[in-house]
Structure 1
Amino acid sequence: MRIRPVATVVAGALMGLSALVLSTNAAQASPHGHTPVTVAHRGASSYAPENTLAAIDAAAELGIEWVENDVQRTKDGELVILHDNSLARTTNVKKVFPDRSPWNVADFTLKEIEKLDAGSWFGQKFEGERVPTLEDYMDEVEHNDQNLLMELKSPELYPGIEMQTLRELRRGGWLDRDHLKHRLIIQSFNADTLKTVHTLRPDIKTGFLGNPSVADLPKYAKYCDQINPVHTAVTPEYVAAVHGLKGPHRRQLDLYTWTVDDPAVAIKLADLDVDGIITNKPDVVQDALENRHKNGA
């Protein structure tokens, strides 16, 4: 059983109040009537090893409601949370399995992956942190009363991962009305994957990772609720083009942008009226956005 820090529990209890205060301040101070959502990239990945339970907890302790993660599949068909296709960068797999290069997730069973240390590379205090399963990850997000921007990573490597992920989400209680409306978004760089998710569960919010041409945006609006480009591709014209369309749920398309750690850049993007900012330093970005409103920007 995972023992969670007291601070995490306290943070979770205060999240609702924090969200209310932030939204009230935003409505009063923002020229656009809102402040962008701050999303912790792979958890609070500047402060804890990415895509681990520790990273979710670190985000919770900072008062961050939204976390982002990456879903992949093991050799024996289990869903796990890892960004790279290979285990080499963020675990000690080279030491434990030296003859298994290139150490791809798809070449290891869950039992083998559970033997790996996914925290020591980041810092000694995280020694023993594991690659979480999707089930364990969702349990921790739920425990912290957080919300999830879930990326299906390299789905072309894992046929059927869309349906499998939806089954896992349903078992975990994440496909009820509250989660679907307020707490879950599925994104991917793979448009066909998003089409599949939308076909299987048209009530789920979806986001395309990338910056399609303005001319192509109406095609994406048929099955995407968000267009999520890298921040260097965001211009006033592009934001206006995205916001000028309605998605499959007949609501204005959102634009979440990544990966922004510089507070000045975050403020600039907020002034362009983006809807979300994905960041490794969610406290830095959130503080910058709050100060922007306090200063009457």
Structure 2
Amino acid sequence: MHARAAVTTTALLGASVLALPSTAAHADTGTERPSVVAHRGASAYAPENTLAAVDKADALGFDWVENDVQRTRDGVLVVIHDDSLARTTDVERLFPRRAPWKVRDFTAAEIARLDAGSWFGARYAGARVPTLKQYMKRVSRNHQKLVLEIKNPALYPGIERETLKVLGNEGWLAPSHVRNRLVVQSFSTNSVRTVHTLRPDIKTGFLGTPKVWELPAYARFADQVNSSHTTISLGYVAALHGLEGPHGRPLEMLTWTVDTAAGARRAAGLGVDGVITNKPDVVRAALLRG
């Protein structure tokens, strides 16, 4: 996710409420503390959105990971945050004449050649940009849970249906996964609404901080409203929890991106249901200490 959370208010004026259980997010610990979600995997310790980051989160003992999904020129879904390959791969070296190196301008085979680990550290040299299929297999192997972000959906018409197809093929739309192991989120209201329309049983999240009076509209199609920790207050979280949606449970909030002990304690004090973090071990330690 990214701090630019554009809220399309006008598109929502005719809409109203959807929700998630505020206690379900605590299933990892069996306590009333917020759950901890490893942002792009344990991305403070391994290159973001790679299988290494997923494995690092698993090694640290975290069930929930978060990722970003985009689409290649030939229609393959890949796990990467930026719409350009430049920041986290060696694409400029391999393809120097293909600026601005957009994901959608490269085939899956071309992206599979890129080194997505060296930028982070020599020990991760040779890490690859995983396809969504590869990523789901690794999360399944680790018995982890996933907050999947559909990134830049306006660039990739139909990506919602394609994402659901991959999830279905990998067994992630079975009732047990849908109930307990999967959230699909986006900054795009249209994208979240589309996922909800296609599969109303899936838990969905809108990324942003709508006005309190707008929350009933978002709750029609989003089980969660997942806001930046810098934008929320005790009153805001309470207002959100006061709404009930189609699943008959209160709206939830996973707040992001919290990487300090003080930030984790503040988020817990606001009553959020989960904390998305690059440093899950730091957040967990702070929450355990209270």
**TM-score computed with the length of structure 1 as normaliser:** 0.88
Equivalent position amino acid for 2:275 in 1: I
CA apart distance, 1:241: 0.9
- In the TM superposition, what whole-angstrom CA distance separates every residue of 1:195-226 from its partner, at most 9, and x where no partner exists? 11011000000000000000100001111100
CA apart distance, 1:272: 1.1
Does residue 272 of the first structure (1) align with residue 270 of the second (2)?
yes
Structure 1 equivalent of residue 38 of structure 2: 40
Structure 1 equivalent of residue 214 of structure 2: 216
**2:28–2:63 Cα contact (<8 Å) kept:** no
What is the DSSP-based 3-state SS (H/G/I as helix, E as strand, rest coil) of the residue aligned with 2:104?
A: helix
Structure 2 equivalent of residue 98 of structure 1: 96
Pick one of 29, 33, 37 that aligns with 1:22.
Answer: 29
CA apart distance, 1:268: 1.1
Pick one of 57, 79, 82 that aligns with 2:80.
Answer: 82
Listed as ranges, the gaps of 5+ residues in structure 2 are 1-25
Listed as ranges, the gaps of 5+ residues in structure 1 are 1-18, 27-33, 293-297
Equivalent position amino acid for 1:245 in 2: L
Structure 2 equivalent of residue 110 of structure 1: 108
Distance 1:198 1:45 in 2: 29
- In the TM superposition, what whole-angstrom CA distance separates every residue of 1:227-286 from its partner, at most 9, and x where no partner exists? 001001110110011001012211100011000001111011101110010000001101
Equivalent position amino acid for 2:185 in 1: Q
What is the DSSP-based 3-state SS (H/G/I as helix, E as strand, rest coil) of the residue aligned with 1:251?
A: coil
CA apart distance, 1:150: 0.2
Structure 1 equivalent of residue 237 of structure 2: 239
Distance 1:226 1:88 in 2: 32
Pick one of 147, 151, 172 that aligns with 2:149.
Answer: 151
- Percent identity between the two aligned chains: 58
Distance 1:263 1:277 in 2: 12
Distance 1:80 1:195 in 2: 22
Does residue 65 of the first structure (1) align with residue 72 of the second (2)?
no
Structure 1 equivalent of residue 127 of structure 2: 129
Structure 1 equivalent of residue 179 of structure 2: 181
**1:224–1:248 Cα contact (<8 Å) kept:** no
What is the DSSP-based 3-state SS (H/G/I as helix, E as strand, rest coil) of the residue aligned with 1:151?
A: strand
RMSD: 1.0
**TM-score computed with the length of structure 2 as normaliser:** 0.90
Structure 1 equivalent of residue 136 of structure 2: 138
CA apart distance, 1:20: 7.5
What is the DSSP-based 3-state SS (H/G/I as helix, E as strand, rest coil) of the residue aligned with 1:86?
A: coil
CA apart distance, 1:21: 8.5
What is the DSSP-based 3-state SS (H/G/I as helix, E as strand, rest coil) of the residue aligned with 1:206?
A: strand
Distance 2:219 2:111 in 1: 38
Distance 1:114 1:165 in 2: 19
Greater RCO, CA 8 A, separation 6+: 2
**1:52–1:132 Cα contact (<8 Å) kept:** yes
Distance 1:106 1:226 in 2: 29
Number of aligned positions between the proteins? 265
Distance 1:198 1:250 in 2: 15
